[in-house]
């Protein structure tokens, strides 16, 4: 049982250096190179010894995936992190699927079908991809795929998820943290708040980070 009252820590001092490192970690993780360099200069920080030098290479990969240009993202990923997509089949499938979706949205149905047969169908030999393949192929049956039950596959949120997963995989492949310090801190804070919330409200509503931040 957690019997600590989080309010007793409200006056605890927070080290400014830790805060700056957390912010810098977020900027580096998301390839905001110019902003990161300006932040280092304006705060008087010393550039960390492990300051990544691959941001210029990761940034276009991330943005190509985010924009739906998956083939270019794949090409650049193979140049930067060899064997990554060969080893990470889930990520490779997601990227190829992004290209398929772009073809469908562009009304290039014949090209989309040929691409699916050549690049996506081989994944069907593995059971976990069968249902996903069915969802993507079903898009071809709709004249307006954005109004289909699988419309979520066309949304920006889906591309964002794939782009984030790709960025994390590249970082891990190059022995860098796959999550920024800010993300890890939020994850840990959420778990602690959930535990505290459950102790206080055993039968109440579930803890919501979004609601907590807006309160």
Q: What is the pTM of this model?
A: 0.81
Q: What pLDDT does residue 198 have?
A: 72
How would residue 192 be classed by pLDDT, with cut points 50, 70 and 90? confident
Q: What pLDDT does residue 11 have?
A: 64
Which tens digits make up the pLDDT trace of 8-52? 656 667 788 888 989 998 999 998 989 999 999 999 988 877 677
Residues 6+ apart with CB under 8 A from 107: none
**Three-class SS state of 204:** coil
Q: Count CB atoms within 10 A of the CB of residue 87.
A: 12
Q: φ and ψ at 24, to 5 degrees?
A: -65, -40
Which tens digits make up the pLDDT trace of 97-155? 999 999 999 999 999 999 999 999 999 999 999 999 999 999 999 999 999 999 999 99
């Amino acid at each position: 049982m957690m019997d600590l009252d989080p309010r007793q820590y409200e006056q605890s001092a927070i080290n400014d250096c830790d805060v700056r490192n957390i912010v810098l970690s977020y900027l580096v993780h998301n390839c905001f190179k110019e902003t990161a360099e300006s932040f280092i200069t304006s705060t008087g920080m010393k550039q960390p010894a492990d300051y990544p030098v691959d941001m210029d290479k990761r940034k276009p990969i991330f943005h190509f995936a985010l924009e739906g240009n998956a083939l270019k993202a794949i090409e650049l990923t193979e140049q930067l992190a060899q064997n990554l997509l060969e080893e990470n089949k889930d990520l490779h499938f997601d990227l190829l699927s992004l290209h398929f979706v772009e073809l469908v949205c562009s009304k290039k149905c014949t090209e989309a079908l040929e691409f699916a047969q050549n690049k996506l169908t081989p994944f069907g030999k593995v059971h976990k991809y069968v249902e996903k393949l069915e969802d993507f192929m079903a898009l071809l049956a709709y004249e307006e795929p954005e109004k289909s039950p699988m419309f979520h596959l066309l949304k920006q949120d889906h591309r964002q998820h794939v782009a984030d997963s790709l960025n994390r995989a590249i970082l891990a492949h190059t022995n860098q943290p796959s999550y920024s310090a800010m993300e890890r801190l939020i994850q840990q804070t959420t778990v602690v708040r959930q535990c505290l919330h459950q102790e206080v409200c055993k039968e109440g509503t579930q803890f919501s980070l979004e609601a907590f931040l807006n309160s």
